[in-house]
Amino acid sequence: MTDQGGGSGRGPIDRAREDFFPEAQELVDGLGRDLLAIDENLKTGRNDPELINDVFRAVHTLKGLSGLFGAALMSGLSHELEDVLDELRLGRIELSSEVLDLVFRAVDLYSKLLASERGDLPEPTVEVRALLNALGHITQRGSAAGANPVVQYELDPGLLGVLTEYEEHRLRTNIQSGFRLYKMRVRFSLATIDTALDELKSKTRSHGEIITYLPTGDASDGDTLELEILIASRESIALLKAAIEAHDLQIEEVPRRSSRASSPAMPAPMPPTRAMPSEFPSIPVAGFDVEAHTSMAHVRAPSIAPQSIAPPADRDVSLRSVSQTVRVDIRKLDHLMNIVGELAIVRTAMFEIIEKVRARPGMRDLSAELQRLHRTFERHLGQMQSGILEVRMVPLGQAFDKLARIVRQISREHDKQVNLVITGAETEIDKLIVEELSDPLMHMIRNSIDHAIETREERVQVGKPPVGTIAVNAFQKGNQVVIEVEDDGRGMDLERIATAAIRLGMLTAEEVKELPQREILSLVFRPGFTTRDVATGTSGRGVGMDVVKTNIAKLGGIVDISSEVGIGTKMTITLPITLAIISVLMVEVGGRTYAVPLTSIEEAIAFDEGLVRSFEGREVMTQRGATLPVCRLRKHFGHDTDALSSRRMARRSGFVVIASVGERRIGFVVDRLVGQQDIVIKALGKSLSKVRGFAGATELGDQRVALVLDVAALIEEVLSTSLEMRTLTLGSAS
């Protein structure tokens, strides 16, 4: 972005620019939701002009903001789009699915434009140009305004004078549709006006359209506000009264004029031109030629309106804003969370000092007092931590909104009808996880539509409903969030996957024979896997599912897959609720301390060397009747190359920490259990980020650092090595 305002460094204007991204993103997200609702209306033949106006206003704001903050490409797109939307809301362009498609394209483009403004992506110049070109081809159907029907009504010119062009258009449209006009007077308390108004709106919605709200200014006492509301409705006044009935509400029908000859009450509508009027009534302020300095600004001397109202009784009345929402940059929350982490270290250090004090003779009272303080500190610290965590939580719905758009787009491309059913959108999860979740979910949905959902004809042939269904279901399960993506498509053909895996040289035919069903299914997550010979427009290029798996694994989660031929496929993502702070079990391995996230621990039991057997090339033990693969962390991390000491350690027994992610389980053999602790997890830094098996590091109270195990990656590593070993053994045995 270019620098505006002439300030160097981080001036106030730069800070204002910081607000630009979140606000623009919010507008774009809202735009997507509104468009989906419009699309739904279009299919069912309903019409909600307010939605189109909302879309217009969002683009209008985006245009203003991008212009202000120097995002030229985005500003250009918004400008064209705004023109189209303006014509659309004023009824000069017909709303068709073709037009809607273009606007949908713009929403996706906005996300790219924002990313490019942040420097994350190159400028999508070509795409913007293509869309601008397409927008330019939308044809107008000519002005909808003929003779102005509004003059037939006895409307106060004062009221007509404050209608915006859009409101005037809605008024005309409603009159042309034969609706009646009503004028409603309501008095609201200023403190509660937002909720009261929302209530009124929802009551009115099913009976008519609110054209405008006009504060009357009569007897305004500073506490209450009287509004005159213009409503168009097909209902009779009695019905309307019954429906909207409220305290302090008067409603009357606006009568038609008896004669058409009466003077027009409002200025004739402007012709649909986009040119600026040649001249504004502008008078330069005395002694100051404004226009010389600000070529675009028009300034007039203050004029005094003829009407006047009684002075407010109490001018010092204090009215608090009812809006109580604050938007916060997530990095600020990260910072707060880091401070909490530092405080936790202080707390641990403090505890050690208290222990020392207690050990001294004659310090008993003092140490008891210190201990009480320490407990209070610990409690408040815990509350602070959970408070910050709560702020980071956002509903998953944010990630799901985009999916609905994708489904619409891809199913059109593939000419397949797909119904997306989302449940559990309100399930809350860490904001950072939501951000990273969109891409993998999108890939999964693309895959489902491309590979799983059959064409309409195929579906009818096998007796399925012609419209396919993809169900996305989210719910919380303990400290984890589970997202299931289930389709009712053709299911995954094990044979076909196996054949493809052999063709791609991943496995030999013999190896495949020995694989259990689930492991064959999980072959689709291997890099480079594809069953397609020819790549289609969307998935099937051999990138996709392995990327999904990697992305989910980065978030500390895992993807599982189950499928039945002819019935459908279910992919299950299991994720931690937050990334910021985790409860861990501290364990000792080879004299070093490691942290194992509690979310993935089932239990810890004493290790008995005698229970370990060798089964199909890997070490396993039987636990509660189930076979559990065992991983000796000491050996895995290479803490003892000396076989003798290994055996000596083994004899000293130890513990097995049983961990699971999704449906996979493993037993980690450790030397000692240290205890449970809440830690703030820190990234390993760029140079170490490629080391597998560790999710990060954390500071311990005594200035030491402990590595945090990435259980999902470790399970993956251990199971896949043993799988390779097994297939190797089997291969040589046959």
Ranges within 49-68 binding another protein (CB under 8 A)? 57, 60-61, 63-65, 67-68
* Binding window for another protein (CB under 8 A); candidates: 17-25, 102-110, 561-569, 675-683: 17-25
Of 286, 606, 626, 644, the residue at the interface with another protein (CB under 8 A) is 286
Restricted to residues 607-636, the positions that interact with another protein (CB under 8 A) are none
Of 139, 202, 258, 308, the residue at the interface with another protein (CB under 8 A) is 308
CB of 318 to another protein, least distance (A): 8
User: Between 126 and 304, whose beta carbon lies closer to another protein?
Assistant: 304
Chain-centre distance for alpha carbon 280? 45
With a CB cutoff of 8 Å and minimum separation 6, the contacts of 379 are: none
Of 141, 298, 613, 648, the residue at the interface with another protein (CB under 8 A) is 298
User: Between 280 and 610, whose beta carbon lies closer to another protein?
Assistant: 280
CB of 179 to another protein, least distance (A): 21
CB of 185 to another protein, least distance (A): 15
User: Between 11 and 264, whose beta carbon lies closer to another protein?
Assistant: 11
* Binding window for another protein (CB under 8 A); candidates: 12-20, 137-145, 340-348, 596-604: 12-20
> Treating both helix axes as pointing N-terminal to C-terminal, what angle do 97-117 and 20-44 enclose, rounded to 10 degrees?
170
Of 121, 237, 242, 270, the residue at the interface with another protein (CB under 8 A) is 270
The residue type found at 62 is L
- Asked if residues 220 and 319 have their Cβ atoms less than 8 Å apart, the reply is no
DSSP E strands in 598-686: the ranges are 601-606, 612-615, 618-623, 626-632, 655-661, 664-670, 672-680
Residues in contact with another protein, shown as a per-residue x/- string from 155 to 194 under the rule CB under 8 A: ---x--xxxxx-x----------------------x--xx
User: Between 270 and 683, whose beta carbon lies closer to another protein?
Assistant: 270
Angle of CA points 400, 403, 407, to nearest 5°: 150
Indicate the SS3 state at residue 676.
strand
Q: Is 75 in the site for another protein (CB under 8 A)?
A: yes
User: Between 77 and 418, whose beta carbon lies closer to another protein?
Assistant: 77
CB of 143 to another protein, least distance (A): 14
Identify the bridge partners of residue 623 per DSSP, sorted by sequence position: 626
Place of tokens 């303990």: 478
> Count residues contacting another protein (CB under 8 A)?
82
E strand or H helix that includes residue 707: strand 705-709
Of 121, 242, 246, 299, the residue at the interface with another protein (CB under 8 A) is 299
User: Between 256 and 332, whose beta carbon lies closer to another protein?
Assistant: 332
Phi-psi region of 517 (alpha: psi -120 to 50; beta: other; left: phi over 0): alpha
User: Between 321 and 641, whose beta carbon lies closer to another protein?
Assistant: 321
CB of 21 to another protein, least distance (A): 9
Restricted to residues 318-347, the positions that interact with another protein (CB under 8 A) are 318-319, 321, 323, 327
Of 4, 47, 143, 517, the residue at the interface with another protein (CB under 8 A) is 4
* CB neighbour class for 462 (10 Å; exposed up to 12, middle 13-18, buried from 19): exposed
User: Between 258 and 263, whose beta carbon lies closer to another protein?
Assistant: 263
User: In 3D, which of 47, 144, 43 has the Cα closest to residue 86?
Assistant: 144
Distance between CA atoms of residues 186 and 671, nearest Å:
75
CB of 10 to another protein, least distance (A): 11
Restricted to residues 479-518, the positions that interact with another protein (CB under 8 A) are none
CB of 293 to another protein, least distance (A): 4
Indicate the SS3 state at residue 407.
helix
- Asked if residues 662 and 552 have their Cβ atoms less than 8 Å apart, the reply is no
The 3-state secondary structure of 441-478 reads HHHHHHHHHHHHCCCHHHHHHCCCCCCEEEEEEEEEEC
Angle of CA points 326, 327, 331, to nearest 5°: 130
